[in-house]
Amino acid sequence: MAVSNGSLGYIVVDGAEGFFRGASLVVDFRGIPMDFRYTDPIKPTRLEKILYGSALEVYLREELILESLIGAIEVKPMIWVCREADLLSSLKAITKGKVLFLAPSNRSPMDAVGNLENAGESGVYMIQADSVSAPLRVAFPEATREDEVKQTTGVLVEAAKTMELLEPFGRIQKAFSSLGEE
């Protein structure tokens, strides 16, 4: 599957109230959906909880849901974006592409769009993606090279000209809600 230029992939794996479910949304740089996949909710039984033990959640989230979603998509994005930092390494291993974790911050804006600052932790940065919002917190998997970080954040800055980078997560949540009402 060839990478679709000008696209970002958002992935969410939710594990609230004993139900596990996930969704992936690939959008173009305007936020228009190109591919959306979601899983049916999985509720592990008591026996499965006993058998799998503490490995259950990791198995469900990282192996079962994540792998199934990535395997099902038909449009491969330039970058995969997740909002759970613990998914980062598995996402990288499964997609074998560019992946990052993205979250809002309360920091005051940086001087210029595209500015990148180390946030004090390895692989974690603050990026000023556009001129009309607070910097975003972005994290990369371990051993991500410096040039790859710059290349990836460059794509984010480009996308932020025409879309709000965190907005698709909200749409996935709305899609979950509408599915739950059915």
Partner 1 sequence: MITQDLKDYFCRHFLGRVEVKPFSLVMAPPRVLSTKRTVETHPIRTEMKVAGFVLLAQKNIVCSSRGFRFAAQWVRTRGSKIARYVPEEIRVHTRPKLRAKVREGTKRVAVLPQERSNRLQWQPVRPKKEGEMILAWYGPLIEDAILKLTLNKQQGTLLIWYNPQSRRFDPKGIYLYRRLGVGKDFEWRWV
Q: Which residues bind partner 1 (CB under 8 A)?
A: 22-23, 25, 29-40, 42, 44, 47-48, 51, 59-60, 64-65, 68-69, 71-72, 109, 130-134, 160-164, 167, 170-172, 174-175, 178-179
Q: What is the dihedral of CA 137, 127, 98, 140, to 10 degrees?
A: -50
CB nearer to partner 1: pick between 53 and 154: 53
Decide if 134 contacts 109 (C-beta within 8 A): yes
As a residue count, the chain comes to 182
Q: How far is the CB of 138 from partner 1 (least distance, A)?
A: 18
Decide if 136 contacts 102 (C-beta within 8 A): yes
CB nearer to partner 1: pick between 33 and 122: 33
Q: Rounded CA gap, 154 and 25, in Å?
A: 21
Q: How far is the CB of 56 from partner 1 (least distance, A)?
A: 9
CB nearer to partner 1: pick between 143 and 180: 180
Decide if 126 contacts 107 (C-beta within 8 A): yes
CB nearer to partner 1: pick between 21 and 140: 21
Residue type present at position 102: L
Q: How far is the CB of 29 from partner 1 (least distance, A)?
A: 7
Question: Exposed/middle/buried for 124, CB within 10 Å: 0-12, 13-18, 19+?
Answer: middle
Q: How far is the CB of 145 from partner 1 (least distance, A)?
A: 30
